[in-house]
């Protein structure tokens, strides 16, 4: 019994020593093999449907065409340095670089996804991505996203940066909400910030403006607007109102278009009296 207790830890230690020795030999073999392997190809994967950055630009960043990678020993290539160079590009959100024992370097790039294009009051033009980060425009690609202009004081220093002003953060919040809803992303064409720093929405259908105000209670405001669209506008026409005010919590305020002409005043009166929702009323000025 005593001998078994002595030999058990010795056998376990011996097993670990053999395993560790085998691992060291294996790692040494891999290092020797890696030193012999030459880079033969660089494969680039850019998933997604937006191409702010293309294969040619990636090749230029990595200097593929100048043979600084292809033809070199894999051991002499600094993978982490390649990733750092790629991430310095403003349109690249993340980059991963892998190498295999066949001499192939694989590059996988995740692009930034803009949700809003901003034209501020200083005539600067830039995007805001899905994380609330400002990025420049691209010479390669124009994203079909919501546009914002007007009295926007968020400046752009031509580099990737976070949002600093209150109105920019409000615009980002509104753009996030609209982009997640297929109906509103199709209906809202533009966002305008007026001199009172209130947000106005410009729809694709109709010649009116939708006064959103701020981004508090977005769910409720857009619900009220949807009810207004379904109940009132089909009765009186899309051009009945020049302003549809949804900035108040429990009501939609329609401001008449003075140039609007309607033969059926009965239909107008009926539509003006519709209730927007169980807790929503319409007021017309």
pLDDT digit string, tens, across residues 87-134 = 999 999 999 998 888 889 999 999 999 999 999 999 999 999 999 999
| Any domain includes 271 | yes
Helices (H) and strands (E) in the chain, counts: 8, 14
| Any domain includes 143 | no
Contact yes or no for 90/97 (Cβ under 8 A): no
Which pLDDT tens digit goes with each residue over 199-255? 999 999 878 899 999 999 999 999 999 998 888 877 776 777 889 999 987 888 888
| Any domain includes 107 | yes
| Any domain includes 159 | no
Show which of 68, 91, 111 is a domain's final residue: 111
> How much is the pLDDT for 10?
64
Contact yes or no for 243/209 (Cβ under 8 A): yes
Q: What is the DSSP string of 66-90?
A: TTSSTTSBGGG--HHHHHHHHHTST
Contact yes or no for 95/53 (Cβ under 8 A): no
Show which of 49, 81, 111 is a domain's final residue: 111
Tell me the percentage of the chain whose pLDDT exceeds 70. 77
For residue 44, give the DSSP letter: E
The domain spanning residue 85 has which CATH number?
3.10.20.310
197: nearest Cα among 161, 148, 249: 148
| Any domain includes 78 | yes
Q: Look at the chain and report how many structural domains it folds into.
A: 2
pTM value is 0.76
Which residues constitute the domain of residue 235? Answer: 205-285
| Any domain includes 245 | yes
Give the span between the Cα atoms of 137 and 125, in whole angstroms: 7
Show which of 111, 129, 145 is a domain's final residue: 111
Contact yes or no for 42/64 (Cβ under 8 A): yes
Give the CA angle between residues 164, 166, 172 to the nearest 5°.
85
């Amino acid at each position: 019994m005593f001998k078994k207790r002595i030999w058990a830890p010795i056998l376990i230690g011996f097993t670990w020593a053999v395993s560790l020795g085998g691992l060291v030999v294996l790692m040494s073999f891999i290092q020797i093999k890696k030193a012999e392997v030459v880079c033969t190809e660089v494969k680039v994967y850019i998933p997604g449907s937006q191409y702010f950055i293309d294969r040619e630009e990636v090749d230029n960043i990595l200097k593929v065409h100048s043979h600084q990678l292809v033809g070199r020993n894999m051991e002499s290539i600094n993978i982490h340095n390649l990733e750092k160079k790629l991430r310095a590009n403003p349109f690249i959100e993340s980059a991963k670089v892998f190498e295999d024992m066949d001499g192939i370097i694989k590059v996988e790039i995740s692009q930034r996804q803009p949700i809003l294009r901003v034209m501020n009051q200083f005539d600067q033009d830039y995007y805001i991505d899905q994380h609330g980060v400002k990025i420049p425009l691209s010479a390669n690609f124009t994203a079909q996203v919501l546009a914002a202009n007007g009295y926007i004081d968020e400046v752009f220093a031509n580099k990737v940066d976070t949002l600093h002003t209150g109105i920019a953060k409000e615009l980002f919040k509104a753009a996030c909400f609209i982009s997640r809803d297929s109906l509103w992303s199709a209906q809202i064409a533009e966002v305008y910030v007026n001199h009172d720093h209130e947000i106005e929405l410009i729809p694709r259908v109709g010649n009116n403006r939708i006064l959103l105000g701020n981004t508090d209670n977005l769910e409720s405001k857009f619900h009220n607007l949807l009810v207004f669209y379904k109940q009132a506008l089909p009765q009186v026409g899309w051009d009945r109102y020049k302003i549809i005010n949804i900035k108040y919590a429990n009501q939609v305020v329609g401001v008449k278009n003075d140039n609007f002409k309607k033969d059926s005043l009965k239909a107008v009166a009926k539509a003006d009296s519709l209730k927007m929702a169980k807790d929503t009323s319409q007021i017309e000025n």
